[in-house]
Structure 1
Amino acid sequence: REFLKHLISFEDILPALMAAKEYDPSTQQIIYDEELFDDNSGNWIRDVEPPFDPTPSYLEAHESYLSDFSAYQVPETGFIVLSFDHVSPNFAYNFLSLIISEINKWMMQKDLDESSKALAYLNDQASKTNLTNMNSSISNLIESNLETQMRARSNDDYALSIIDPPFTPELKSKPSRKLILILGTLIGGLLSLLLVMINHYFIKKKYLHI
């Protein structure tokens, strides 16, 4: 949740997650739900009851985020596949790129902070002890933390190395037109059958009472 809280601090992320209604391919712009978000003023106008606010909380955004974000590991290769579904293919591409970039920065900064604290402690301990064996162990730990700092500062793809970069799809991934057509035909057929059965039942009942 904290990571998403960080992500929605970026401009236009929260409205796109919580108020996107349609996508205009001709302008490549997101069309927002006018009952939720005023795109002209940039203000949230949704009508909600307390304890909720017009501006969605990061906890609300987290639910929407989880419903559209997918991550799984390929057992054969160990590769992690990330995907994000959205009405706007451009936003999906940009948001997924942002996720990857910020994960790398987030993990890099976390390891830098931890290794810096460890180095400060180890250097302090090294100055207080004269035992050869202890100094050797401390030196090894210092070397390990220095390597961590070197890797973090020299590699942008610190946590996730991109094998196949995000791309903007040319076609919608959903809803499936074929599936809609099949379901529509099936439902239409069932309704027709139901009407025939009802009609037959009432006609039969009418003749039985004559």
Structure 2
Amino acid sequence: MTDENNKQNHPAPYGPGQYPPNFYAQPYPQDDEIDLRELFKIIWDGKWWIIAITFVFAVASVVYSLSLPDIYKAEATLAPTEEAQGQGFGEEVSGLASLAGINVGKQQVDKVTMAMEILQSRQFIKNFVEKHDILPEVMAVKEWHRPSGKLVYDEEIYNPETKEWVREVEPPKQPEPTSWEYVNAFRDNLVVEKDEETPGLIIVAINHQSPIIAHRWTQWLIEDINDHMRARDIEEAESSMEFLQEELGKTNLSSMQQVFYQLIEKQTQTIMLANVRPEYIFQVLDPAVVPEEKDAPARALICIIGTFLGGFLSLLVVFIRHLVRNNREA
């Protein structure tokens, strides 16, 4: 009786894999929970590390931002002229050419897009730098001295007194920059884009350490692209006239001769208009001016980002030190 009573009062334990009904409902001790008090204590214990690292980054960001030269931006707003909006031969000339048996194709060239692409092309920029002899201003300017208005060159790259390139480079490079180098450098400071606020208008801008040079180059770019597109159209019109005159001499039909005369007249008008209009492709609506305020760098933003980066890294260092110390003690 005694054994049976003991079995009733003390039932047998659960078998393998069997647990009380409320076993999973019981809370586990959460060892991995973040204890805010412990977190604050870790930060407080490492406060000098945080202050020191953040201070170093803050000072470094200030020094770095002050070492950057001021960059000035001169920009002009342009509008396409009637010639720029014209498409190739034009509908009237294309019809006349078809009557004469000349296939000019149906694909029409957008001269505005063409001019924008040429402005940024390697050949155009190379010719621009060589024409105006501005290689030192592209590759060797260190800063602009505001009181005197003179450029300060990096003498480790270029000697302005002897006008010699003295930079140290590894072969096969030469002390004087190649067109590959200065074209890429020029492109970094060139802006050619369509105006987002006013469709149809074009923005051309130059960034440079000198506001005077930025203004001057912007003007030169506009003049040179107009001259380039004018010369291109004149050359095309002259070539077309030579071809038309050859075809005119091969036909005896009066009707065909009349068509050829009209085509030649159109090409003559193209040449005449190209020569009398200085703003051939782009008309300046808002000309570039010498900027009085810098466009870059944003020194305050650099300092803020540097300080926040220092603060984040300092916290990371403090937590890593805490984990390493706990592992050693364990």
Is 2:238 the partner of 1:116? yes
TM normalised by structure 1 equals 0.88
Alpha-carbon distance, 1:169 to partner: 1.7
Indicate the SS of the match to 2:193.
Answer: strand
Matches of 2:307 and 2:144, distance apart in 1: 27
Alpha-carbon distance, 1:106 to partner: 1.0
Count of matched residue pairs: 208
Matches of 1:121 and 1:12, distance apart in 2: 38
Is 2:185 the partner of 1:64? yes
Indicate the SS of the match to 1:85.
Answer: strand
Matches of 1:200 and 1:49, distance apart in 2: 47
Alpha-carbon distance, 1:142 to partner: 0.9
Indicate the SS of the match to 2:191.
Answer: strand
What are the residue-to-residue correspondences of 1:43-82 with 2, within 5 Å? 43-74=164-195, 76-82=198-204
Indicate the SS of the match to 2:307.
Answer: helix
Matches of 1:194 and 1:23, distance apart in 2: 41
What are the residue-to-residue correspondences of 1:43-192 with 2, within 5 Å? 43-74=164-195, 76-192=198-314
Alpha-carbon distance, 1:64 to partner: 0.8
Tell which deviates more after alignment, 197-206 or 144-153.
Answer: 197-206
Matches of 1:70 and 1:110, distance apart in 2: 23
Alpha-carbon distance, 1:12 to partner: 4.3
Q: Larger relative CO (CA 8 A, sep 6+): 1 or 2?
A: 2
Letter in 1 for 2:199: T
Indicate the SS of the match to 1:140.
Answer: helix
Q: Deviations over 1:78-126 (max 9, x none)?
A: 1111112111121111111111111111111111122122223323332
Structure 2 gaps of 5+ residues are 1-121
Alpha-carbon distance, 1:202 to partner: 6.1
Matches of 1:143 and 1:50, distance apart in 2: 57
Alpha-carbon distance, 1:38 to partner: 0.7
Indicate the SS of the match to 1:23.
Answer: strand
Alpha-carbon distance, 1:13 to partner: 1.2
TM normalised by structure 2 equals 0.58
Alpha-carbon distance, 1:133 to partner: 2.4
Letter in 2 for 1:118: S
Letter in 2 for 1:5: K
Alignment identity in percent? 34
Note if contact 1:8-1:58 (Cα within 8 Å) is conserved in structure 2.
no
Q: Deviations over 1:9-38 (max 9, x none)?
A: 134411111111211111222211111111
Tell which deviates more after alignment, 7-16 or 145-154.
Answer: 7-16
Q: Rg: which structure is higher?
A: 2
| Superposition misfits of 4+ residues, deviation over 4 angstroms | 198-206
Matches of 2:298 and 2:165, distance apart in 1: 32
* Alignment RMSD (CA, Å): 2.1
